Structure 1
Amino acid sequence: MNIFVKKCLCAMTILFGVGMSMAAQADDSTIDKIKARGELIVATGNYRPFEYYDDNNQMVGYDIDIAKKIAEKLGVKLKIKDMQFTSLIPSVQSGHADIVIAAMYINDERKKVVDFSEPYLKTGMVLVVKKTNNAITRPEDLKGLTVGAKAGATSEQVARKLSETTPFTIKAYQDTSAQTLDLTSGRIDAGINDLLNQMELNKVFDNVKVVGQPFTEASLGIAIKKGDSRLVTLVNTVINEMRASGELDALYNKWIIGK
């Protein structure tokens, strides 16, 4: 081996070691920063029954209770940042939030830009129509109609994918309550929404219905800045502890079933 090659290999080894050290420091610093500031910053969005404002203007819900357990595990206070769904992932990428917990579907596209915890709940997409509508029973029946979906969410992605083979007009909403209200008033013909969220909305809007079974299956996960393996591990520990203790089942009964 000549001297030039040896020098190159040595340089590469040093750079690799420095890079690994910097990555480890960056990984460690997230939890350290959370503990130093004394609060876990959680990005979320108004989306019943996972996160919404109660009569006292406090953010509550299934996801919020999980966020409280994560903050408790870290020994810090919980700070909630309510924002539009399209701003959630950028907030954790930029460091303005530590985690995103917002009934977020785990998918390959999102996994390119953030890391996810283990799934904490299973769900899926459904079609929603007025109770008097018997013409729409499956996605193929949407041809030529106007269909609502939540902006930037999986429902909009699913709608755009479906419209490639069954052309229809998509109307995007920042809030699924507004989407359902437009459905009841006839401004849209149908909606695509998460089953669990729609179950909650149907308690308020009694003139709409879910048709058929979920036509997609998905898992909800907590989004964390890419490469932050230490925080991912801690969040996974909390989820697994809550699952083992029956707390996740209790949250499902409390917030989704309504027991």
Structure 2
Amino acid sequence: MQFQFDRRGVALGLALGASLFAGSVQAEELTGTLKKVKDTGAITIGYRDSSVPFSYLDGNQKPVGYAMDICYKIAEAVKAHLKLDKMEVKLNPVTSATRIPLIANGTIDLECGSTTNNAERQKQATFTNSHFLTATRYVAKKDANLKTIEDLKGKTVVSTSGTTNIKQINEANTERKLGLTILPAKDHAEAFLMVETGRAAAFVMDDVLLASLAASSKTPDAYAISTEALSKPEPYGIMLRKDDAPFKAVADAATKALYTSPEGKALYDKWFTKEIPPRGINLKLPMTEAMEKQFKTPSDSPDPAVY
């Protein structure tokens, strides 16, 4: 009888163990993007061709940039998470019009560029931790010594027609009684030319775009970007498919590890404070206090007030 009891106990234990094991396997069953990558052995990165310095083509027509480097880090984390010996990283071009549809339909798995994470886009996609914070500032000739909004009092400024930036400078002009003459330009190139030729004292736009225009000019050292901003920080993030929590968890862990390490600051400096390919321009855009805070405690929030 004792022997029979033991056998039943062992059988019961084995059955229980098998049940627990099955439950464990079921709990770890892959879904969404992780399953797709595991099944195909490949992950697809969407890149931009001219979003300097985030994602653009170098002199050899190869996609490079700050956001691209971050996406490669995420890809490495996915490969390690899935315990894959090999994983192909495919590259697929996207535009401002196609980036969200291509994420949604599964053509690309990561969108690596300068896409703003906002409440409207959150309805169609999701984002990992923000990798850049832009804000509305102005560029002016350095010898004019213009740094704050108050410094613009009574001057002529330009902004690109139809942008939120021109709306913001008009609002500031009214609220602060600055007495500005505000000129609309048809595009960014025309607006910057007006500062170059002295027709306007300053050009109001996203700071990273201003930095790129100044760095690409004939005399980059002749220009300076205002220290004061006209807007709260607006976050750029790597875009992911909506409602794919397991994949987002891997991407969030990878970006948090990168941003909070010394490597994160070094990566930022590589693209924003040093010469970059293919023309060797230097954006001279060091980290703001908001960016330093974001790297110390990464957030994926679309709310500018968080930053």
TM-score by structure 1 length? 0.68
Q: Indicate conservation of the 8 Å contact 2:168/2:230, yes or no.
A: no
* Match status 1:119 vs 2:130: yes
| Offset at residue 37 of structure 1 (A) | 2.7
Counterpart secondary structure, 2:215: coil
Distance 2:225 2:121 in 1: 27
The aligned residue for residue 237 of structure 1 is: 253
Per the alignment, in what secondary structure is the counterpart of residue 230 of structure 2?
coil
Q: CA deviation at 1:93?
A: 2.0
CA distance in 2, matches of 1:222, 1:61: 13
The AA in structure 2 aligned to 1:63 is A
Contact between 1:50 and 1:102, CA under 8 Å: does it hold in 2? yes
Render the CA deviation track for 1:209-256: whole Å, top value 9, x for unaligned.
Answer: 434522221222121122111121111011011123322111011111
**Is 1:218 matched up with 2:234?**
yes
Aligned to 1:57: 61
Q: Structure 1 36/164 Cα, relative in aligned 2: closer, same or farther at 3 Å?
A: farther
Unaligned runs of 5+ in 2: 1-26, 80-86, 175-181, 276-307
Q: In the alignment, what sits opposite 1:8?
A: none
Q: Is the 8 A contact 2:116 2:236 kept in 1?
A: yes
Find the aligned partners of 1:254 and 1:59 in 2 and give their Cα distance.
16
Aligned residue in 2 for 1:33: 36
How many percent of aligned residue pairs carry the same amino acid? 23
For the residue of structure 1 that corresponds to 2:97, the secondary structure is helix
Q: In structure 2, how many angstroms separate the alpha carbons of the residues matched to 1:118 and 1:135?
A: 33
Q: Answer yes or no: is 1:73 the counterpart of 2:77.
A: yes
Q: Aligned to 2:54, what secondary structure does the other structure show? A: coil
Q: CA RMSD in A?
A: 3.8
Offset at residue 44 of structure 1 (A): 3.0
Separation in 1, partners of 2:155, 2:107: 41
Please give the alpha-carbon distance, in whole angstroms, between the structure 1 residues aligned to 2:105 and 2:153.
41
The answer (yes or no) to whether the contact 1:67–1:78 under 8 Å persists in 2 is: no
C-alpha distance in 2 between matches for 1:228 and 1:170: 42
**What aligned pairs does 1:95-134 form with structure 2 within 5 A after superposition?**
95-128=106-139
| Residue 65 to residue 119, structure 1, CA distance change in 2 (3 Å) | same
Task: Choose 161-170 or 69-78, whichever is displaced more.
Answer: 161-170
Provide the rounded CA distance (Å) in 2 between the counterparts of 1:81 and 1:141: 47
Amino acid at match of 1:147: S
CA distance, structure 1, for counterparts of residue 267 and residue 33 of structure 2: 28
Consecutive unaligned residues of structure 1, counting only runs of 5 or more, are: 1-23
SS of residue in 2 equivalent to 1:108: coil
Q: Give the alignment partner of residue 159 of structure 2, picking from 141, 147, 163.
A: 147
Hey, what's the Cα distance between the residues in 2 that align with 1:162 and 1:43?
34
**AA at the equivalent of 1:115:** T
Task: Render the CA deviation track for 1:44-72: whole Å, top value 9, x for unaligned.
Answer: 32211111222222111111111111111
Instruction: State the one-letter code of the partner of 1:203.
Output: A
Change (3 A) 1:148 1:87: farther
